[in-house]
Structure formats: structure tokens, C-alpha cells
Structure 1
């Protein structure tokens, strides 16, 4: 039975990320040891750990930027070495991975999210331009489209990077410290937005954050699993009614009209 023909409730239990006996060393130091963890469709997983615990390392392994020393990573049931459907994944790296002097406009940054690893340098067509316009509008940054990314505030930049990650309508969204360097009000708006996305859309979330209050408020206080210094907090959304795919851009516009600010500061 293919995914499209499964009952909605059954689709919500499909594995999105599978980590089997994964270990990783960094310069002879064991960072992650024999990690076994599985993320199901529509899960929201919060990853918490002290500095050096391996949080970013784990995310980089999941998106194929690092290879585990032992064990296997699978995405949507496919071993990472054979996985090619990278457009199914949106990734927002740490803000310090971005060079603020990079000479690109907001529109160019969001458009770059359309270039999957197998679509590099392909022409941008009418449908792609509409995807970019929808992402800009949904994240309330259309008025910033021609601004240089390095001249924006921290909150505005994070909206741009989130729009870039969402432009292809990913099924898995990975966020590495998305609220670092932005003010508390903007952080609250950001969490409100991603909670809305999780509750109403067929998107699986994996997020690293040091904002324990916000994480615990949504995911609870007891980790579902602990591995070394890593703690995994999980919120399942497996009700059949919550599995239907909806129009993300339309829904985020509804959220904006319901009170989200036009642009986080």
C-alpha cells in the first residue's frame, strides 16, 4: 500500500527519521554513542542538551552534512546514502552559520530554497516564482523582498530563513536554535507560528532550542528519551483529522490576519 492510499491515521505513524545505533566522534572525542531514536510523521521533537552535547552534530548527520562513524540514518524509510528527495526536507541552520555580508536580497535567499541537490541551477519558472511569492507573503516579508539580507533585524532574518526552508512545502522541518539573537517578543511570535504549523499541517518538526520555557510549555517537562547529554521531548499529533495536507501559505496568511504582526522586529 502506498502512502497516498493509506488511511489518514496510519499515515501519521510512518517513520520520518530513523536513527539506529548511531555514534559519532569528533577529534577522538565521542560525541554521540549508540543512539536509537525514531521520529514519526507529524511529531514535534524538541532536542535539548548542554553545549557540546552533540545537538548540531546530530542535525547535520540527519541532513547528510556529516556521516556517522557507526550505525545508520534513514529518512522516510530510505538509508541516507540512497536518499535523494531533499526537497522533502527544510533546514534552518544556526544563525551564526550565516555571513551577514553575503550580497543577496531576501527574494534571492528564499528562491535558493528551490534548488534541491538534484535541481541545482535549473531555470526558475512561473510556478516557482509563485512559490516564492507565497512564502514571502505567508511569512509577512514581501515588503522586504528587495532588501539585502544582511541589513535586516534578527527577527526578520529568521523569517527569511524559515520562508526559504518552507518554499518547497517540506514534510520535515529541522530548526537549529531558530530564536538565538532575537528579542523575547519576536521569539514568542515565532513559537506561536511554528506551533500553528505543527497543529494544522502535515509537517514533522525537529528543533533545537535553549528556550526551555517555550519548549516545555508545548512539549511537556518529561523527556521521551535521554541519550548521553541529549534529551528528546516529543509531542505526537496523530489524530486522523490532523493528517490532512492543507495549504500552508493560505493558513499562515490566516494566522497573520488573526493577529500575527506584519513583520517581527
Structure 2
């Protein structure tokens, strides 16, 4: 295998595989036989009508729900055996967040380091420095000591993104990240996501109702559809960037 073909193969590793995945809430069938493959450095826009199961699918992928039928693989490993959750960043919908939650921006960002097996992990000097770096990268360092509930919608989304990025994930999952924020902030936020996709070894799976914004970057026609869900996909082909990098430092330098 030549160097070029090896690089190409490395950039097309399996990140998320869905095979015949179904899920119901009681008698209500939400997902039925959904299949899809996300490869390394894909940017996937997941589009569907209300009730199509978009959020349910994301919650299945991040392990908050278990599929009732079918299989999910993460990085080639069946989800029931997957342990490396630090490789995945997750930004849930803002309407799942309690604005009265008594935490500062710094505390919310640092919570991204704790992981599922380190819920009560003591924050080290290295952790604290990484938290400061994440806040500087997302331009929220001046908000570090403010309560998260006191921030605007756009500021909150930057906090949640900093929390998701603090572990330098290889897969970033975003559920309606631009919902409820003004058009200018949406455009700036989406510009940041595009930059990350084009210049860093990271795969995106994003749910959005903003058809125009998704299609402007990912194309008019979905790559595939499964059930009521449509998957718009754009792959980043920049092989010279297909390497291990510290996302936070690189983003701050380039952004």
C-alpha cells in the first residue's frame, strides 16, 4: 500500500455504524430499521420532521438509550462493549438544560473531563489549564465565573461546545446546537463548526431544523435516507490534516 492510499484508508475509518436500529416509546414506534455508516472526517447533517426520531437516535448513539432491535457500533466496537466515551463529545438540546442549575461556566466546561467512570474525579492543575484553554478557544474566558443560567443562548452554546471539546474528541454529536439563538450568532457558530471540520481530524453528526444552513455546506440532496430521516454528508478530503492534533490549541491559533 502506498503512503497516499494508506492516508486515504486512515481517513475512512468507521466511526458510527447503525444496522437495522429500531426504538419505541411504549406503543409509539419512533425509529424503525435505521441503517447508516459515518466515516472519519464526515460532517453529517441529520434532518427529519418533528417526531422522526432525530434526538432519540443521538441518545442511542451516545449510550443514553439502548436499541430495542439492531446494532450500533462506535469506532468499530459494538456499543454494549464500548468504553472509550472520552472520544465522543455530545452537545444536547438547550431545552434539556435547567437554567437554574447552580454551576459556573468554568464548572460546566470542566465537567466534560469527568467522564462516565470519573464522575467525582479531582480536578488537577493540568485539568484546570485545559479548561482555561477551552474557554479561551471558544472566547468565553471572561464568563468563567458567571452562572451558566445567566448567559445568552449563544454564550451557553459556546460553553456546551467547550465542554464537548475539552477531551479532544474524534466524534462530535450536536443536537440542534443553533436552536433559539439569533441569526448572526448562528452564522458565527456554524462557521466555527465548518472550520473544525475542514482543518481537524474530527467527525460531526448534527441534528438541525435549519435546512438552508445545512444544505449550504452539505449539499441539496441527502446522501441517503432511512425511515423518516435524511442524512446529508460532506467529507473532508484534506489528507495533510488527517493526523492527531490538539484541537484546542490549533483552533485558538487558527481561529
CA separation in 1, counterparts of 2:134 and 2:27? 42
Taking the TM superposition and a 5 Å limit, the aligned residue runs for 1:150-169 are 150-169=149-168
Q: Map Cα deviations across residues 194-251 of structure 1 (whole Å, 9 max, x no partner).
A: 0000001011000001111110010000001111210000001234223123332233
- State the shift of 1:255 in Å: 4.5
Taking the TM superposition and a 5 Å limit, the aligned residue runs for 1:86-101 are 86-101=85-100
What TM-score, normalized by structure 1, do the two folds share?
0.92
The match for 1:207 is 206
Taking the TM superposition and a 5 Å limit, the aligned residue runs for 1:81-160 are 81-160=80-159
Q: Is the 8 A contact 2:93 2:176 kept in 1?
A: yes
Q: Map Cα deviations across residues 43-93 of structure 1 (whole Å, 9 max, x no partner).
A: 000000000000000000000011111001110011111111000000000
Q: Where do 5+ consecutive residues of structure 2 fail to align? A: none
The match for 2:221 is 222
Q: Is the 8 A contact 1:44 1:198 kept in 2?
A: yes
Provide the secondary structure at the position in 2 that maps to 1:7.
Answer: helix
The match for 2:27 is 28
CA separation in 1, counterparts of 2:71 and 2:212? 33
The match for 1:77 is 76
Deviates further, 241-250 or 123-132: 241-250
Cα RMSD between the aligned structures?
A: 1.2
CA separation in 1, counterparts of 2:136 and 2:178? 21
CA separation in 1, counterparts of 2:243 and 2:63? 28
Provide the secondary structure at the position in 1 that maps to 2:49.
Answer: coil
Taking the TM superposition and a 5 Å limit, the aligned residue runs for 1:175-194 are 175-194=174-193
The match for 2:245 is 246
The match for 2:197 is 198
The match for 2:46 is 47
CA separation in 1, counterparts of 2:43 and 2:101? 32
- State the shift of 1:125 in Å: 1.1
CA separation in 2, counterparts of 1:239 and 1:148? 39
Q: Map Cα deviations across residues 98-136 of structure 1 (whole Å, 9 max, x no partner).
A: 000000000000000001111221211121111101100
The match for 1:7 is 6
CA separation in 2, counterparts of 1:212 and 1:176? 14
Provide the secondary structure at the position in 1 that maps to 2:23.
Answer: strand
The match for 1:37 is 36
Provide the secondary structure at the position in 2 that maps to 1:33.
Answer: strand
Q: Is the 8 A contact 1:200 1:246 kept in 2?
A: no
Deviates further, 9-18 or 85-94: 9-18
Q: Is the 8 A contact 1:135 1:249 kept in 2?
A: yes
What TM-score, normalized by structure 2, do the two folds share?
0.95
